[in-house]
Amino acid sequence: MTGAQQPSVFIPMEKLLELVETLRGPDGCPWDRKQTPKSISVYLVEEVHELLDAIAAGDPAVVCEELGDVLFHVVFIAHLFQGQGAFNFDDVAQTVREKMIRRHPHVFGHARAETTEQIRQQWRQIKKTEKPSSMDASLLARIPSSMPALMRAYRISERAAGQGFDWHAIDGVIAKAEEEWRELKAELDRPQKRTDRGRVALEFGDVLFTLVNVARFAGIHPETALTDSIRKFIRRFEHMETAIAASGRKFEAVPHEELQVLWKDAKAEVK
């Protein structure tokens, strides 16, 4: 069919499950056969980060590929637990389906929740009824310690705020951020700062944590905001590298004053 798009072949989940079974089978791959849930989880985390990069880049084809990689590892881990007689992939799919229906009573039931804040409150209350035994632990202790620090800080501040421990308005948290910044500067000005890095680190951490709360009040996620800023910095730095390379010089040979001029040019060119 000239000029027409060829129809795609639908591959059901069963085929992916069969693939994992083959890889783990007697005639499969020795590497796949020796994997454990703990060992393969490292690769799952890596694949998730690659998926996030693909989503940020906005290329649907790459996103599709990376989603497949994540799905493969999820299926792989489910297969490992199936081998232990714990559960299979169908159990995973059914469990999450039931959970999502249960946690969306405003969609699948008769509850009313029209704002995102109402939905969040409803979600929290439903979670409490689902896992009453875990309610004995601290509300904040239930947040995974393995989360990246910036994401964990956001989740912790969000949960604390959900219990009423929060500022009344963004002005209050901005004032707190300015206070923490002054405390950090005072610590940096101490003569013994070089031998007491722990105190400096704590004050710096306080600044970051408070800024996370500023982001929360502003309605943005600090992880996403920082990722975008990093990406912007990289693009501008690469613009500088290109300009310097075109002049036949090495980056480290360019005087500091000229680097500042090149940086201004990069900021003007790369929005």
* pLDDT tens per residue, range 20-64: 999 999 999 999 999 999 999 989 999 999 998 899 889 999 999
pLDDT for the residue 2:
41
Q: Which long-range CB contacts under 8 A does 152-155 form with residues at least 24 apart?
A: 153/208, 153/209, 153/212, 153/222, 154/212, 154/215, 154/216, 154/221, 154/222, 154/223
Residue 167 CB neighbours (<10 A): 16
Q: Residue 237: enclosing H or E segment and its boundaries?
A: helix 222-246
- Pick the closest to residue 169 from 120, 213, 209 (CA basis): 213
- Pick the closest to residue 247 from 228, 266, 262 (CA basis): 262
In this prediction, residue 137 has a pLDDT band, given cuts at 50, 70 and 90, of low
CA distance 156 to 174: 18
- Pick the closest to residue 19 from 87, 67, 85, 89 (CA basis): 89
| pLDDT at residue 136 tops 60 | no
Give the residue carrying structure tokens 């085929």.
Answer: 15
pLDDT for the residue 114:
87
